Amino acid sequence: MKIALCSTYVPFLYGGARNIVEWLEASLKEAGHAVERIYLPETDDPEFLFQQMAAFRWIDLSAADRIVCFRPQSHLIPHPNKILWFIHHKRLFYDLWDSPYRGFPDDEKHRSLREALHRADSAAFREARKIFTNSKVVSDRLMAFNGVAGEVLYPPVFQPGRFHCRKYGDEIVCIARLEHHKRQHLLVRAMPFTKTPVRLRLCGVGSGNDYPDQLWNLAGELGCRDQILFENRWISEQEKVEILSDCLAAAYIPINEDSYGYPSVEAAHARKAVLTTTDSGGVLELVADGINGLVVEPDAVALAGAMDRLYLDRQEAARMGERAGGRLRDLGISWDHVLKSILG
């Protein structure tokens, strides 16, 4: 089958939205399919939103037997055999409208843009032969905002067998883009409240230098720089494997995340517990408190207490890590399941 994988991206910004496309591409090719990967640059600037959307409607992919669309607004591309693996809306016009992240006024102009966007999205969703989502959170948003159903299809990581556990060291590691909504600042704020020699390792880059600089300055103000290892760069996949194999546990504490996030699944494959918060959104579909990780309030003291608990009871940390693999199986997180769903 000739399959086109369609998504959008912000130039020079990398993250999980590219991984889901490229890893599916590799799995489809391994299964013998011809695959074309198509990335469309897109900005969230309201002034250019509808020009971009109109351009997507003119794209001709009739040479493909099937197209699979991921990140918005790729779902606007017309095709008689269109499948969506929908990972999130243009969130500033949806669930983040009333949040500090919106960045433009709640006025008549932008409310009109929002209403028009919702109508266009809803119409495009109804063109799809099938809609999958990456989490229950996203399925619930689709139904609430657009009145369409989406079947949850959890995204696996690529070559999960490369992850392993070597030991349970003294580091809580957070591997994610350094962005305010990923909330690494809460982990930094937690460090002065820890009562053990537990350490924190932050790995990733941001869309700019502002937030990474804020984290560094915050650690200086709190006097905890010696407890934190800053890796302000994209670590290699092999480095990631090594770091996860030796860490005590992983932390992933975004605010109301669309899905469980690849860092959580990678940690689970490395048999490491995941520390998250009660408001982390889709992460809670994977992490169950006391089973395969710890779920605490988004508070520095609570996070510090959880870090100390993991440090002081390595046997408990190991038990939760061992149960992480079973949790992945229970949720059907595998490429075999993905291909059966996408190709069905």
CA atoms of 115 and 50, how far apart (whole Å): 12
Q: Are 284 and 136 in contact (CB under 8 A)?
A: no
Q: DSSP assignment, residue 147?
A: -
CA atoms of 335 and 199, how far apart (whole Å): 34
Q: What pLDDT does residue 140 have?
A: 96
Four-way CATH pick for 160-330: 3.90.1170.20, 3.40.50.720, 3.10.20.30, 3.40.50.2000: 3.40.50.2000
Q: What pLDDT does residue 285 have?
A: 95
Q: Are 286 and 157 in contact (CB under 8 A)?
A: no
| Average pLDDT, 10 consecutive residues per value, the chain (344 residues) | 94 77 95 96 87 93 98 96 96 92 92 96 97 96 97 94 96 96 97 98 92 97 97 92 98 93 95 97 96 97 98 97 90 93 94
Strand-pairing partners, residue 5, are 37, 68
Q: What pLDDT does residue 207 have?
A: 82
Q: Which residue has the tokens 């207490």?
A: 305
User: Would you identify the CATH topology of the domain 2-153?
Assistant: Rossmann fold (3.40.50)
Name the strand (E) or helix (H) holding 132. strand 130-133
How many residues are present in the chain? Answer: 344
Tell me the three-class secondary structure of 82-118, residue by residue.
EEEEECCCCHHHCCCCCCCCCCCCCCHHHHHHHHHHH
In the chain, domain spans = 2-153, 160-330
Q: What pLDDT does residue 164 have?
A: 96
Q: Among 279, 289, 282, 300, which residue's Cα sits nearest to residue 323?
A: 289
Same fold, 2-153 and 160-330: yes
